[in-house]
Amino acid sequence: MNSEILDMARLVTEKVMAVPLNQRGRKVAIGADGTDTSYVDKVAEDVILEFMDQNDVQSNLLSEEVGFVDRGFDEVLVIDPVDGTYNASRGIPFFSISIARGRKLLSDLTEGLVMNMVSGDVYYAEKGKGAFLNNQPIHVREPENGLVLMAYMGSSASPRTFELAAKFRRVRALGAASLDLCAVASGMADAYYLEYLPAERSLRIMDIAAGVLILREAGGEAYTPKGEILDMPLSLDVRKNIMAIGSDKVLEMLE
C-alpha cells in the first residue's frame, strides 16, 4: 500500500473527527462545483493541501471544493475529503475519505483508497493487484438467498430505483457512495444503485473514483443504469448515475 496516501487519509480523519458535531455542517463557502462548502469539508481539504505541499506529493489535485489544482505533474489525486458530509454533520457513523490516483479517466486509475472515518477500516486497491480491506484480500460474493442492495432512495430517485429494490431481500440507503461501493467489493452487499432525476444531480468522479477501482479489483463491475461500462473523465464537469454489481447474475436482475 502507498504509505503517502494512507498517511494523508489518517491525518484527515484525525482532524475531521476532532471537529465538534455542532460545527461540522456549518456552511462556510461555495465550492468549485457551485455547491455549499461545509466547515468539515474545508477542514479536510485544508489538511490535504497542506500535506501535499509539506510532503512534496508528486501529483496534481482534483477535489470537491477547490476543484483542479495544477501542481505541474502528469498524475492526479482525485479526492473526496469527506464522502458523506451529511452523515458526518448529523452524527450518522457512515462517512469516509476517498483518494484515487490516475491521469485522465476513471478507467486509467492505478490506485484507490477509501477509509471509513468512524471505524478506521481501510479499503485499498492497486490496478492489477487485487483489492484489500485492512490488508486482507476481499472479493465480491456469488449471489445467494437474501440479496442486499445499497441504493439511493430519496426524493430525487428515479421510479426505476424502487422497481429494482423490490427484487432484493434487503435494501440499505446509507449515503456515502465510496463506502457503498466498498460494501459490494467486500461481499457485504450484492449491488449498489443510484439514479438521480434529473441526472445533473448525480455523482461526480470524486464520489466514486477509488470505490470503483476497488470494486473492479475485487471482481465486480460498475455500469451506467443503461448497462454501459462506466467511465468518466477526471473532471468536475461530468456527473453520472451508477449501477455497481458483484456478479453477472445480479446484473441480469437489474437489466
C-alpha span between 206 and 172 (Å, rounded): 22
Specify the residue for cell string 455500469.
223
**Domain 148-254 falls under CATH 3.30.1540.10:** no
Output the nine-digit C-alpha cell for 216: 473492479
Confidence of residue 28 (pLDDT cuts 50, 70, 90): confident
Domain parsing of the chain, residue ranges:
3-138, 148-254
Q: Which of 158, 170, 128 is nearest to 226 (CA)?
A: 158
pLDDT in tens, 108-128: 999 999 999 999 999 999 999
* Structure confidence at residue 32 as a pLDDT band (50, 70, 90): low
**Each residue of 46-70: pLDDT tens digit?**
999 999 999 999 999 999 888 999 9
List, as one string, the DSSP characters of 105-117.
BGGG--EEEEEET
User: The domain 3-138 belongs to what CATH superfamily?
Assistant: Fructose-1,6-Bisphosphatase, subunit A, domain 1 (3.30.540.10)
**Distance separating alpha carbons of residues 114 and 183, to the nearest angstrom:** 11
Q: Which three cell numbers stand for residue 32?
A: 468549485
* Bridge partners, 98 (sequence order): 80, 114
| DSSP secondary structure code for residue 203 in this structure | B
Give per-residue pLDDT as tens, 141-168. Answer: 988 778 999 999 999 999 999 999 999 9
